[in-house]
Structure 1
Amino acid sequence: MFKRFSITFWATVFVSVVCLSLVGIDVWRSFHARTEQLQEMERQGANLARAMAQQADDTIKAADIALADIVERIETEGQGAQVLARLQPQMRAQVENLPQLVGLFVYDEHGRWVVNSRGVLSQAYNNADREYFIYHRSHPQRGPHVGLPVISRSTGKWIMPVSRRLDKPDGSFGGVVLATLDIDYFRRFYESFDLGARGAVALLSSDGVLLLRQPFDSTRVGSSMRDSDLFRHYSRLSGPARVGNAFFHSFHDDEVRLNSFRPLEHYPLFVTAALSRDEMLERWRRDTFTRSIGVVVLAAFIGFFGKRLVDQIKLRAQAEAELRVARDALESANRTLERQAMSDGLTGLANRRQFDVTLGNEFSRAMRHQDTLAFIMIDVDYFKQYNDLYGHSAGDEVLRAVSKLIRALTPKRPGDLSARYGGEEIGILLPNTGIEGARAVVERIRAAVENLQMPHSGSPFGLVTLSAGVATISPQRGVHESAMLVEAADKALYAAKSAGRNQVCLA
């Protein structure tokens, strides 16, 4: 059959196939690049939402702790002149120590000032008409209440009220204790994010009221977003499903954005980080256009010079031999680069890329075989202080020493993996391992690092130490995701740090 057609015919077929393949590969690469760009948007948005939720939760919690202390003092000691005289300096000190606080106030059951952090009592202001005052007067619950943003009557600034109810000895309504949070404190934090030219972040109440949006517009503060696609989608979710990503048309400017939303852990609020789809894909479109022009030009050149292929048939054998050599060299170089790309140059451990791949594989394997998968998150205590005191070169030596111990003390089974997760954080993945087994492994590592006796004057222990969080999961299809294991270990690590460091906490 091959002899029935001339070499020119086969050359034409070959050139046509090559041109079509180039176009097809370019289309596939463009689609794949777009998918990766959108995935990167999701990761960025999720990280932004996580940071915003944590900041808002911590900010409100600090104010709520101050409120709870004031409520306990007044309900225990009463509202005598001596009690209030002792309480007022403490309130002022708490405001000075917490930059997010504008002021702390105590109102009686009629909305009149009893005591405040400023030390000035003026009966010109009565807050009985405020939303939070009305709420506590009609609700006997003792928990905190996050009210709608208002303009302070005493300072003229936008504030977010956080309040608790005061009860009289007989349990009746006795007033309100109020902390006013500075809206600008949240704005400054949100302004630190790189959202692009058309990105936005927002803090909303769980009933759809906009508390703050960046870019800031004072006319929208306190407005309802119940009719927005974002809130309708969020309100249909519950539990862990309330954390997610979705594309919506903006309620404010109709821009299509990828919204990453997450509720606060302790308060009825949620945050959203919205990145403009068009803006994020603008570079992809530009690169795709440039590359497509190049492919078209290349295909034209191949077609033009394809006719001359017959004249070069005698040199084909030599060219094929050279191509094989080049291909082998390229494959060898690619294998070398791939090995380098999967390890961390400083510690010699696996890098984040290899960890993500291995976690996905082992999570799927554990799901298929109904096994347990353990993950350990390790963090060097007070590492920033160590770098500040001894220099980054010394900090790198600490990471190398810790990584060397981890390699020596972790199991060497198939699937076990130690990886530099990021900065001074190191993750250890242990398939088919229970939580006690994982704790035994990390306790050996923690004790070994402590026994190295590496001096650290910036640590209360005087030595370089580790904190670690341990989590295990027996994954079930459709219920669990690999990120849940990492998040659980990270929360356990945070608990270990909060409990004093140099210890291991279990999720």
Structure 2
Amino acid sequence: MNTRAQSTEQRSSTSLQTLMAGFILFIILAVVVLNGWVVFNSYQRTLEATEKQADNLSLSLSRHAEDTFLQVELLLQDLNERIDQDGFGGPQLLRLQQTLKNRKSTLPQLHGIFIYDSAGHWLVTTADNIPKNANNSDREYFKYHQNTPSTELYIGSVIRSRTNDDLIIPVSMRLNNDDGSFAGVLLATISLNYFKLYYGYYSMGDTDVLAILLSDGHILYGRPFDDSQINRDVSSSPLFMEHLKSSTSGTATFYSTVDHVERIYGYTRLKRYPIVIAAGYNKTQVFSNWKVDSTIYTAIALTLLLIMSSMGAIVLKQIKINEKNQTDLTKVRDQLTAMNHTLETLALLDVLTGLANRRQFDIFLRETIAQSALSGKRIALIMLDVDMFKKYNDHYGHVEGDKCLQTVSHALSSMPRRKEDLIARYGGEEFVIILMDVTEEGAIAFAERALEAIRHQSIPHELTSLDEKVVTASAGVYLFVGTTPAQAPESVIIRADKALYQAKNNGRNRVEIATE
């Protein structure tokens, strides 16, 4: 071989080496960027999911608190009307005492009901005996009504009962004489243990918070804090200084003024009563599991990078050796091509369930919409969500949660269906089904069979609110025909998801169909 040929071959070999080195570097950078994006996106989704969970929990607790105080308010209004009509003379006191006892037995939150005269003396109570010389004129709520002409309901700070030393929340109303002068106080006390017991039902971390507060910032009760924090003034906290001033409900992340722990909060101020509900998740604890998963994912990515880098080094070495290794390089190229094909195939499947994954579903949905626009055939999109799966995961653990999802996936994939239909895992405990050329009755029937197939697995679920105490699912169905130009897949998903949300609101373990 002449010098010119050798020089040309050397330049070609050097160019190939440079190209290969650049390609490997590009792949490494791409994997690093992709891994960083996935980790960041996972962080954001964890944050958003926690915020949504905290917001939903605060709204749920606010409805419970409003119902609790509303029942007491209606009771006091009724008693006030009775007193206005009949007064509280001697014979009437006996009837009032019996009435108070009867009403107390129907409201579990009540600790007691009392009627005081204008001097604070006990006239009537649900207790069997009135203490001798009992007088409550020194109580803060009594002084409030004594000096305030309003007959509106008043909720005071937590106090100790003088009958049995229990912690109670006073809910009171002013009594007036015919001329509007002060006649006394009508009082109902709510046992603080009622809220302690109710909040204790929620499965949360040791440093997560559920709290009910007065709108002036005083704590009525806060889980998991002890009784020493009751009536503590936290009006200087970011919740009262910033967030409640701009919105009556929402989510926020800040450090607690009680224990200085950073939490992700959902908060709601009641419209009818001066009460604020807060539900907070320890941010450090929330992201501990995320950190574990991210570390594992990063370790896998680094391992892949190491493998790819090693393979690249081998390829470069082979190029350097001599021209005879071109055959080996071809084999390596074929192997890499096969690996890429395998990875592409795996990229369309969900690792846990073996079903089509979100990526395959997105591709299939776009293609299906285009086909429907040409053929005019109707498509059904079914979104299915396992009921109360978070409670299942929290109670049985993530390993059993994965097994549950695998069982549900097997039940769905085992259902008779046509080749052109698709069942995929949408994410978490959500699944999607696309049915081609189907009627409304057929789509609903298929969704019902899917729910029955899941129920038939009889997966125990002790924490479900449904009577069967097994894992169930809810489904939303949306039927449509593709249009030109094609509608966005997101708009189709939103309608099916709205129907699914309706199924959840209507009691779960059911199918709802979307309306235009």
Same-fold status (TM-score > 0.5) = yes
Instruction: Work out the CA distance in 2 between the residues paired with 1:51 and 1:70.
Output: 29
Q: How does 1:140-289 map to 2 (within 5 A)?
A: 140-237=149-246, 241-289=247-295
Instruction: Work out the CA distance in 2 between the residues paired with 1:244 and 1:343.
Output: 27
Q: How far 1:304 sits from its partner (Å)? A: 2.2
**Equivalent in the alignment of 1:100:** 109
Q: How far 1:110 sits from its partner (Å)? A: 0.6
Report SS of the residue matched to 1:203. strand
Instruction: Work out the CA distance in 1 between the residues paired with 2:425 and 2:97.
Output: 53
Amino acid across the alignment from 1:118: A
Instruction: Work out the CA distance in 1 between the residues paired with 2:71 and 2:264.
Output: 31
Kindly indicate whether the alpha-carbon contact (under 8 Å) linking 1:146 and 1:162 is maintained by their aligned counterparts in 2: yes
Q: How far 1:81 sits from its partner (Å)? A: 2.1
Q: How does 1:370-381 map to 2 (within 5 A)?
A: none
Kindly indicate whether the alpha-carbon contact (under 8 Å) linking 2:210 and 2:278 is maintained by their aligned counterparts in 1: yes
Q: How far 1:172 sits from its partner (Å)? A: 1.0
Q: How far 1:328 sits from its partner (Å)? A: 5.9
Q: Tell me: CA distance 1:12–1:324, structure 2 relative to 1, closer, same or farther (3 Å).
A: closer
For 2:53, which of 37, 40, 44 is the aligned residue?
Answer: 44
**Equivalent in the alignment of 2:404:** none
Q: How far 1:295 sits from its partner (Å)? A: 2.6
Q: Tell me: CA distance 1:396–1:424, structure 2 relative to 1, closer, same or farther (3 Å).
A: closer
For 1:301, which of 303, 307, 331 is the aligned residue?
Answer: 307
Instruction: Work out the CA distance in 2 between the residues paired with 1:83 and 1:244.
Output: 48
Q: How does 1:375-394 map to 2 (within 5 A)?
A: 388=467
Instruction: Work out the CA distance in 2 between the residues paired with 1:91 and 1:204.
Output: 27
Instruction: Work out the CA distance in 2 between the residues paired with 1:196 and 1:32.
Output: 24
**Equivalent in the alignment of 1:486:** none
**Equivalent in the alignment of 2:499:** 419
TM-score by length of 1: 0.69
Report SS of the residue matched to 2:68. helix
Does 2:394 correspond to 1:314? no
Amino acid across the alignment from 1:144: L
Q: Deviations over 1:462-507 (max 9, x none)?
A: xxxxxxxxxxxxxxxxxxxxxxxxxxxxxxxxxxxxxxxxxxxxxx
Q: Deviations over 1:395-433 (max 9, x none)?
A: 989x89xx8xx88xx9879755473322146666545xx
Aligned residues: 393
For 1:111, which of 115, 120, 129 is the aligned residue?
Answer: 120
Instruction: Work out the CA distance in 1 between the residues paired with 2:235 and 2:345.
Output: 61
**Equivalent in the alignment of 1:501:** none
Kindly indicate whether the alpha-carbon contact (under 8 Å) linking 1:420 and 1:426 is maintained by their aligned counterparts in 2: yes
**Equivalent in the alignment of 2:147:** 138
Percent identity of the aligned residues? 26
Report SS of the residue matched to 2:383. coil
Q: Tell me: CA distance 1:342–1:350, structure 2 relative to 1, closer, same or farther (3 Å).
A: farther
Instruction: Work out the CA distance in 2 between the residues paired with 1:302 and 1:37.
Output: 30
Q: Deviations over 1:277-300 (max 9, x none)?
A: 111111122222233233333322
Report SS of the residue matched to 2:295. helix
For 1:66, which of 75, 99, 122 is the aligned residue?
Answer: 75
Q: How does 1:411-490 map to 2 (within 5 A)?
A: 417=496, 419-421=499-501, 422=504, 423-424=508-509, 429-431=514-516
Give the superposed CA RMSD: 3.8
Instruction: Work out the CA distance in 2 between the residues paired with 1:243 and 1:181.
Output: 25
**Equivalent in the alignment of 1:373:** none
Q: Deviations over 1:12-60 (max 9, x none)?
A: 2222222222221111111111111111110111121112111111111
Kindly indicate whether the alpha-carbon contact (under 8 Å) linking 1:351 and 1:419 is maintained by their aligned counterparts in 2: no
Q: Tell me: CA distance 1:35–1:69, structure 2 relative to 1, closer, same or farther (3 Å).
A: same
Amino acid across the alignment from 2:266: S
**Equivalent in the alignment of 1:84:** 93
For 2:342, which of 309, 322, 326 is the aligned residue?
Answer: 326
Instruction: Work out the CA distance in 2 between the residues paired with 1:251 and 1:387.
Output: 39
Kindly indicate whether the alpha-carbon contact (under 8 Å) linking 2:117 and 2:123 is maintained by their aligned counterparts in 1: yes
Instruction: Work out the CA distance in 2 between the residues paired with 1:76 and 1:275.
Output: 50
Kindly indicate whether the alpha-carbon contact (under 8 Å) linking 2:116 and 2:124 is maintained by their aligned counterparts in 1: yes
Report SS of the residue matched to 1:236. helix
Instruction: Work out the CA distance in 2 between the residues paired with 1:150 and 1:222.
Output: 9
**Equivalent in the alignment of 1:121:** 130
**Equivalent in the alignment of 1:453:** none
Amino acid across the alignment from 1:319: Q
Amino acid across the alignment from 2:82: R
Kindly indicate whether the alpha-carbon contact (under 8 Å) linking 2:250 and 2:268 is maintained by their aligned counterparts in 1: yes
Instruction: Work out the CA distance in 2 between the residues paired with 1:328 and 1:45.
Output: 38
Kindly indicate whether the alpha-carbon contact (under 8 Å) linking 2:76 and 2:188 is maintained by their aligned counterparts in 1: yes
Kindly indicate whether the alpha-carbon contact (under 8 Å) linking 1:8 and 1:307 is maintained by their aligned counterparts in 2: no
Q: How far 1:8 sits from its partner (Å)? A: 2.3
Report SS of the residue matched to 1:419. helix
Q: Tell me: CA distance 1:37–1:143, structure 2 relative to 1, closer, same or farther (3 Å).
A: same
Q: Deviations over 1:254-308 (max 9, x none)?
A: 1111121101232111111111111111112222223323333332232222122
Q: Tell me: CA distance 1:294–1:318, structure 2 relative to 1, closer, same or farther (3 Å).
A: closer
Q: How far 1:77 sits from its partner (Å)? A: 0.7
Kindly indicate whether the alpha-carbon contact (under 8 Å) linking 1:250 and 1:256 is maintained by their aligned counterparts in 2: yes
Q: Deviations over 1:359-385 (max 9, x none)?
A: xxxxxxxxxxxxxxxxxxxxxxxxxxx
Instruction: Work out the CA distance in 1 between the residues paired with 2:266 and 2:281.
Output: 9
Kindly indicate whether the alpha-carbon contact (under 8 Å) linking 1:113 and 1:123 is maintained by their aligned counterparts in 2: no
Kindly indicate whether the alpha-carbon contact (under 8 Å) linking 2:213 and 2:277 is maintained by their aligned counterparts in 1: yes
Q: How far 1:188 sits from its partner (Å)? A: 1.1
TM-score by length of 2: 0.67
